[in-house]
Structure 1
Amino acid sequence: MPVGVANEIVSIQRNFLWGWGSDGRKVAWASWKKVCEAREDGGLGIIDLRIFNLALLGKWIWRLGSDKGGLWKEVIDSKYGGWRILREGRGGSSDSLWWKDLREVWSLEGWGQNFEDVVAWKVGNGKEVMFWEDNWVGRGALKSVFPRLFSLSVSKASSVIEVGAWNNNVWVWKFGWRMSLFEWEKSLVCLLSQEVQGVSLNLEKEDSWEWKEGKEVGYSVKTGYQRLGGEGD
């Protein structure tokens, strides 16, 4: 939604709410932010269209990361490269306005540093989750938590399932390094092992996105979905 259109609609909403005659004086009895809060929180439950517009764009990012099939997703992945391209911030002059908006929404204030701060991977078969790049252990991407080990890894672009193997129906992590490790680096490997040991792969389930537990999303994309009858995810 263009900013000018959003501002005009909000102006109409405010004039309708506070106006009491064509020549009458208009007094705003509460802040617009308060008016747009849910009724159970003391507001009037009026939808802030600018925020809801961001919620709808955020929903597209969610679908890009969570939907597992569909022609629309195949086309988008083929043309742009999928949601990870949004994370990398790469774009071209031929990108559609919609895709450029998604790039902007990815890094808007309210998520944290970016959209990925409010979601995490729930590992299933480990085929789609990138071991170092994606947030699947709860503390962010492992390459950020263990930058030294990431620089030494021989599997920087590997998925989770490619950094281990099944041994008698037990999943065993197998890290590979491009050089021998010093003692202090070996201690980091121990910490890495502790970080990932609680994750159990399940070949019968696909990897999926989920909202981080207890994470509030500014004012609030998640609430924006729910207030129009959308799903919690």
Structure 2
Amino acid sequence: MEGLNLAFHRTMEIGFIRGFKVGMDNIHLSHFIYADDASLISSGGRLTLVKSVMGSLGIYLMSLFKCPETVLKRLESIRAIFFWGGSNSVKKMSWLKWDKVLASFDKGGLNVGSLKAFNLALLFKWRWRDIVGGRIEQYLKVLLEEIGCPILRDRPDSWVCNLSDDGSYMVKDAREYCILVRWNLSAKGIDIDSIVYPNCNNGVETRDHLFFDCDVARDLWLRIRIWLGCGLPHFSSWDLFVVWLEGVRLTVSSKNRIIAVMVTSLWAIWRFRNDVVFQDSFCSKNSLFDVIRLFSFHWIKNRGHLVSNWNFWLSMPV
């Protein structure tokens, strides 16, 4: 940097550049040093610019909005490239993982700080102002009204899952309630007109009834079993299908094709149900079967690369 200053002073002395005067004190400016001159700045200087300049450019927007992950990753990438002396056209070696550089001094980093943590800190500051501004008393009153008269018991605190009868958490219980069929909505305390499945009107709309036991699903699975031709039995739940798939003797590619067809069928049945409930439209069973074959073919072709011929898929999928 000192050599660059001497070079500019020399060019002023011989008249190549003149500079200009600013302010009431007539300060003479001959040149500026921009952040683009990363190759002329030491690593300590780049570290200072990363902390003081590049870390605070978005302070106003970050204090109002939560920054998307993609934007944060891009900004961190720009800071990392600049810190290691690179640019858009020049790539330099990264001698340390960027997360390590962002860490605090006691963690072995350079105390730069991540933009994500900075963004969240600015947003939480608004929450803190609400609390300190006198609204905490109002929130406390609302909380006490919601709690009512709590009963304190002399025993350790514990987690209780309200999806099961015994209070223990099971993955199958969470999976059972994640699909918002009428039975699950009713179990959550939501007032609905009926819990009967509207497409058949002969059973409660549970997950297993919707996907496997209703008339539409049974007829659809029959067509799928005939089409696949691999001895696929009728299932009354997804768990039974998984058990059958683990025990059947098929190649890995064949099993992947069956899974693709099964998942596409569940999606098609769910969309068929929503069209009937929310849009009062009706899709024929033949059309539903054609949709399953078409979408499962495109899924396997584009994602799994297990099949490429449409005619082959129609005649011999497994």
TM-score normalised to the size of structure 2? 0.23
Which of structures 1 and 2 has the larger relative contact order (alpha carbons within 8 angstroms, sep 6+)?
A: 1
TM-score normalised to the size of structure 1? 0.29
* Structure with the largest fraction of helix: 2
* Structure with the largest fraction of strand: 1
Please identify the structure whose Cα radius of gyration is greater. 2
